[in-house]
Amino acid sequence: MSNTNNLMVYIQCDENTPINASLEALSKGVELGKENNLDVIVVLIGKFDENTEKICKDYGANKIIEAAVEQYNIKSYGEIVTKLVKEYSPKLFLAGTTPVAKDVTAYASSKLDMVSLSNVSDIKMQDDFEFTIALYGGAVLRDASINSDTTKFAILSSGAFKKVLSPVDNVEIIKEDCSEQTKDLLTIIKESVTEISESVNLEEAEIIVACGRGMGTPEGYKLVEDLAKQLGGAIGATRPVTESGLVARTQQVGQSGKIVAPKLYIGCGVSGAVQHLSGILGSDYIVAINKDEDAPIFEVADVGIVGDAMAVIPLFMEEIKKV
């Protein structure tokens, strides 16, 4: 195993605030760091400020490496991570499941000829790190170890680890010169367009009400939307519903959509196909409303309501008003 005494965590920010998936990875990194006497080095690439540093400090970072980069580019981000891993030889490189984290870990691990694991739902240290990988949406858990002395890259499943505050007094901040990695890029983003959505960001949402094909009509969707509004939650959807154009593609949950980890997920007219379930199993509490009592979603639901969601949702909303 590499003889350095650190592990690295890649932190992705949204408007200078680390996103939940990254803070879950940092919290797991800090736990492993404490158990194994390893410094936790946070890697920030892109835009960040003092607020970002404070949050990383509150979640237990010992060292923060800051690479200020104007815009996202897989090559520049990947080259920065490659350089840092070469320089610090961390025992682990952890990241939460995000598209950028997938890009940079794939880029750096392949460039360095190192192993990268994704969907990691647990990490333990015996003689070396032992990983648990969640397959088929968490239906199968497989143990894995990496027979190599080099850095092990791991992308952690959203919701598999809890965010834990662990404030640190002194944090070393290192400003990384990344002029080399940001020049001569083959692609340049000339314009980026942000989709303005009234709903809350799905990956950060504490409550998600999901619209399945069973509620995939304008009337059905309106009820799902009303319930989400009443609960202050975000709207999610299954693939057939986003493909029908009723709900934006950005709201799709599942294997080819977003992996979510809310405190409460309510599936309305969702059957519970494995490709959808793989996106919701990090939820703390799952409620399913479906008129078919044999729908597979009931196998993972904490509370299942068998009935017509067109009738159940209004009753549900009436009851919530009384609370």
Residue 78 or 254: the one with the smaller Cβ distance to ligand FAD is 254
Residue 26 or 246: the one with the smaller Cβ distance to ligand FAD is 246
- Closest distance between ligand FAD and the C-beta of residue 144, in Å? 23
How many alpha carbons fall within 13 Å on the CB side of residue 275?
A: 9
Distance CA 171, CA 54 (A): 10
Q: What does the CA dihedral 293, 138, 78, 186 come to, rounded to 10 degrees?
A: -40
Return the biggest CA–CA distance within the chain: 62
- Closest distance between ligand FAD and the C-beta of residue 288, in Å? 9
Distance CA 92, CA 30 (A): 12
Does 290 appear as a known binding residue? yes
Residue 29 or 279: the one with the smaller Cβ distance to ligand FAD is 279
Token digits for 290? 């479906």
- Closest distance between ligand FAD and the C-beta of residue 176, in Å? 36
Does 199 appear as a known binding residue? no
- Closest distance between ligand FAD and the C-beta of residue 250, in Å? 12
Q: By the criterion CB under 6 A, which residues form the site for ligand FAD?
A: 212-214, 238-241, 252-257, 269-271, 273, 275-276, 279, 289-292, 295, 308-310
Does 273 appear as a known binding residue? yes
Strands 285-290 and 264-268: parallel
Residue 11 or 227: the one with the smaller Cβ distance to ligand FAD is 227
Identity of the residue numbered 187: T
The DSSP symbol for 251 reads: G
Does 89 appear as a known binding residue? no
Does 194 appear as a known binding residue? no
Strands 92-96 and 152-156: parallel
Residue 55 or 309: the one with the smaller Cβ distance to ligand FAD is 309
How much is the CA Rg of the chain, to the nearest whole Å? 21
Does 144 appear as a known binding residue? no
In 37-167, where does DSSP find H-type helix? 50-58, 74-88, 99-111
- Closest distance between ligand FAD and the C-beta of residue 155, in Å? 17
Does 12 appear as a known binding residue? no
Which residues carry a binding-site annotation for FAD?
A: 213, 238-239, 252-256, 269-276, 290
Which residues carry a binding-site annotation?
A: 213, 238-239, 252-256, 269-276, 290
